[in-house]
Structure 1
């Protein structure tokens, strides 16, 4: 697995790029299948619901390292199976959702390049979102490696 991370100094955007040791279909399934997502995304048991289609809703209660719970909701803005997923995340007090874009590129039958990007409203939001996304990609990598062992 390789990792690349960029944050623009004068921007509230970040992009994380990794090459995962898994085929594209396996990465897509891990991100879009309720039971698989719940296993690696720090979600509370039974809290994940997904309707993976444009306009479809999703929700999950995320568990924080200190044992807290953080409910999230949103919708899928764009869905291109095994290639691109644009996710809107509801933000309390804001009229527009935060938008995360996930792009997949199969390098070969066993490796997938994943690019995850998001633009936030402040440096603090960007830093928190980037930290959370980095943790998600670390956990996804470990989940896919364990799944490959079978």
Structure 2
């Protein structure tokens, strides 16, 4: 995995890259099917709803390692099946959603996944990057069969 951190004109950004031993279609399904997403993305069972189309809404209740729960909502800003997903997350006090971009590139039955996001501060970037790293770790385990896939 490689990580780049760049203070950009629009804020602070990070980029995470992984190559997963699964075809792009399977990675896409894991990220866009509520039942699969809940199994690897630290979401409370039954809490995930997804309308995966540009402008479609999503919601999930995330569960922290200590058992705490917090609801998240947002919308899909861009959808190109099996290739690109831009997820907007509603942020209290902000008019525009925080956008996270997921790009998939199929390579001989494997998938190179690039996840990137820009944030307003270094602290927000560091927290988002930590969360995204945990998600990619869990996704990799799920796709490898280590999370009850």
Give the Cα–Cα distance (whole angstroms) in 1 for the partners of residues 132 and 53 of structure 2. 22
Q: How does 1:1-150 map to 2 (within 5 A)?
A: 3-8=1-6, 12-109=12-109, 111-146=110-145
Distance in 1, matches of 2:20 and 2:107, equals: 9
In 1, Cα distance between equivalents of 2:57 and 2:102: 17
Aligned-partner Cα distance in 2 for 1:39–1:29: 12
Specify every segment of 5 or more residues in structure 1 that has no aligned partner in the other structure, as ranges: none
The Cα offsets for residues 3-24 of structure 1, whole Å up to 9 and x where unpaired, read as 1111126751000000001011
Q: d(CA) in 2 for partners of 1:8 and 1:54?
A: 28
Q: Distance between the aligned counterparts of 1:9 and 1:92, measured in 2?
A: 23
Change in Cα spacing, 1:146 to 1:70, as seen in structure 2 (3 Å) is: same
Q: Give the secondary-structure state (helix, strand or coil) at the position aligned to 1:136.
A: helix
Q: Any stretches of 5+ residues in structure 2 without a counterpart?
A: none
Query: Partners in 1 of 2:130 and 2:7 — Cα distance?
Result: 16
Number of residue pairs the alignment of both structures matches: 147
User: What per-residue deviation string (whole Å, max 9, x for no partner) do you get for residues 56-83 of structure 1?
Assistant: 0000010111211121000000000000
Q: Give the root-mean-square deviation of aligned CA atoms.
A: 1.7
1:55 & 1:114 partners in 2: Cα distance?
23
Distance (Å, rounded) in 2 between the aligned partners of 1:123 and 1:8 = 10
State TM-score, norm by structure 2. 0.94
The list of structure 1 runs, each at least 4 consecutive aligned residues, that deviate by more than 2 angstroms after superposition, is none
